[in-house]
Amino acid sequence: MTAERTRALQERFGNALMPTYGVPPVAIARGEGARVWDVDGRPYLDLIGGIAVSALGHGHPALVKAVADQTAALAHTSNLFLHEREVELAERLIALLGDPGARVFLANSGTEANEAALKLARKAAGPARPVLVATENGFHGRSLGALAVTGKESMRAPFGPYGTEVRFVPHGDAGALRAAVDDTVAAVIVEPVQGEAGVVPAPDGYLAAVREICDAAGAAFVLDEIQSGIGRTGHWFAHQAQGVRPDVLTLAKGLGGGLPIGACVGFGRYATAFAKGDHGSTFGGNPVAAAAALAVLDTVENEDLLGSAARTGAALAEGMRATGHPLVAGVRGTGLWLALVLTAERAAEVQARAADHGFLINAVAPDALRLAPPLTLTPEQAASFTGALPAILDEVNP
């Protein structure tokens, strides 16, 4: 099969878009469930799901109907007016989080959810506590505020200074965190598992230690569940498995199932730290995006996608481990959020060979491939990948 259309589109992409993403290797035309087809008609199993976004897969009837019906009825109001979908969505999130005192701010992306969280923490802390604490290799977004707390030096360094004191500590190191958090700190922001760093979990008990350290210092515990939330790990939210509640929680990615939406949830005094006029967004809580998010939450519940994520994820992880291939060092992660860790820095080649075999996976680090497929991935689809994996790896490491 030729790649003529892909090549033509890549050339136009290169001539029209800023080069922030390089030129992506695959041009996707359409999708159905966990399968997608490129513009030349080649099929792929989508094991990355738009980076943990396409929770229901592609073209799920519940999402299609919710978006179509809402667009026809009312696509936009701005926040000069309220509408029912945003209220329903906030109520649903509060119910899933099990705290009737929580309050929600709706945004359009993960970055914006984190901006809201940082502003919220600053507002609650007051001017005497301006410092933020974040983790090395962490990722929180690309705006100046979210980037200031992003621990990836290569992303952050070219855009400073940020006008904010940020202390970076190793992820998972409670001792280093304790030493960094004093009474000048407004907030600590962490991910339960570092997604962009390569699906790197913290040791058990880390979130409980963050909770305790923040409580002792009076700092806000901001938990970024933008990638880990909405069923990815087999729980609605990763922190629920640890029995720890943050002060501020941020969500996006899987929440909209492909429509852009983010949420910042405040608990306790952080529920009400913003006053009228403190924050806003023209599109935030948009009726169409909110309807999509409600369809995602309904479908996760109706189709037991938490159970599927846990079971299919375990089978996928086990299948990858069981290859026993010399290039496989191990598998990190839980649920349908995994990293295949290699014994050599050859993830980019594995990603390319996997695409040749019809599997989309993501070289998230030089030695790790990330899988974050639709939560609707079937066990048969998972097995088709683990079955093909030895041949893919052989092509890289003969």
> Catalytic pick from 105, 247, 253, 267?
253
Q: Is there binding between residue 38 and ligand PLP (CB under 6 A)? A: no
Q: 70 or 109, CB closer to ligand PLP? A: 109
Is the CB of 228 or the CB of 376 nearer to ligand PLP? 228
Of 120 and 217, CB closest to ligand PLP: 120
Is residue 192 close enough to count as binding ligand PLP by CB under 6 A? no
Measured between alpha carbons, how far is 307 from 107 in angstroms, rounded to an integer?
28
Of 33 and 231, the one with the shorter C-beta distance to ligand PLP is: 231
What is the Cα–Cα distance from 59 to 61, expressed in whole angstroms?
Answer: 6
Q: By CB under 6 A, is residue 115 in contact with ligand PLP?
A: no
If binding is defined by CB under 6 A, does position 339 make contact with ligand PLP? no
Stretch that binds ligand PLP, among 97-105, 201-209, 224-232, 277-285 (CB under 6 A): 224-232
What is the rounded distance in angstroms from the CA atom of residue 356 to the CA atom of residue 345? 19
Nearest to 303 by CA among 60, 54, 41: 60
333 contributes a contact to ligand PLP by CB under 6 A = no
- Applying CB under 6 A, which part among 137-145, 155-163, 277-285, 328-336 lies near ligand PLP? 137-145
Cα-based distances in Å from 218 to 5, 188, 211, 213? 57, 11, 10, 8
Question: Rule CB under 6 A: is residue 110 a binding residue for ligand PLP?
Answer: yes
Asked if 119 is an active-site residue, the reply is no
Which residue among the candidates 38, 46, 139, 247 is catalytic per the annotation?
139
Residue 233 binds to ligand PLP (criterion: CB under 6 A): no
How near is the Cβ of 94 to ligand PLP at its closest, in Å? 21
CB of 150 to ligand PLP, least distance (A): 8
Contact pick of 60, 83, 140, 239 for ligand PLP (by CB under 6 A)? 140
Confirm whether 139 is a catalytic residue: yes
The rounded radius of gyration (Å) of the Cα atoms in the chain is 21
201-220 residues near ligand PLP, rule: CB under 6 A: none
Q: Is 81 assigned a catalytic role?
A: no
Of the pair 251, 393, the CB lying nearest ligand PLP is at 251
Residues 242-261 that bind ligand PLP (CB under 6 A): 252-253
CA nearest to 115, candidates 68, 57, 159, 162: 162
Figure out which of the listed residues 33, 195, 254, 257 binds ligand PLP, where binding follows CB under 6 A: 195
Task: Identify which of residues 109 and 281 has a Cβ nearer to ligand PLP in the complex.
Answer: 109
Catalytic residue among 46, 105, 221, 224: 224
Contact status, residue 41 vs residue 4, Cβ threshold 8 Å: no
| From candidates 139, 168, 270, 385, binder to ligand PLP by CB under 6 A | 139
Nearest to ligand PLP of 244, 328 (CB atom): 244
Mark the segment that binds ligand PLP (CB under 6 A) among 33-41, 54-62, 154-162, 223-231: 223-231
User: Which listed range, 108-116, 238-246, 301-309, 364-372, lies at the site for ligand PLP (CB under 6 A)?
Assistant: 108-116
- Region from 9-17, 18-26, 133-141, 170-178 binding ligand PLP, contact rule CB under 6 A: 133-141
3-state secondary structure the chain: CCCHHHHHHHHHHHHHCCHHHCCCCCCEEEEEECEEEECCCCEEEECCHHHHCCCCCECCHHHHHHHHHHHHHCCCCCCCCCCHHHHHHHHHHHHHHCCCCCEEEEECCHHHHHHHHHHHHHHHHCCCCCEEEEECCCCCCCCHHHHHCCCCHHHHHHHCCCCCCEEEECCCCHHHHHHHCCCCEEEEEECCEECCCCCEECCCCHHHHHHHHHHHHCCEEEEECCCCCCCCCCCCCHHHHHCCCCCEEEECHHHHECECCEEEEECHHHHCCCCCCCCCCCCCCCHHHHHHHHHHHHHHHHCCHHHHHHHHHHHHHHHHHHCCCCCEEEEEEECCEEEEEECCCCHHHHHHHHHHCCEECEEEECCEEEECCCCCCCHHHHHHHHHHHHHHHHHHCC
Nearest-approach distance from CB 134 to ligand PLP, in angstroms:
11
In the complex with ligand PLP, the residue whose CB is nearer, 254 or 266, is 254
Residues designated as active site: 139, 224, 253
Residues forming the site for ligand PLP (CB under 6 A): 109-111, 114, 139-141, 191, 195-196, 224, 226-227, 252-253
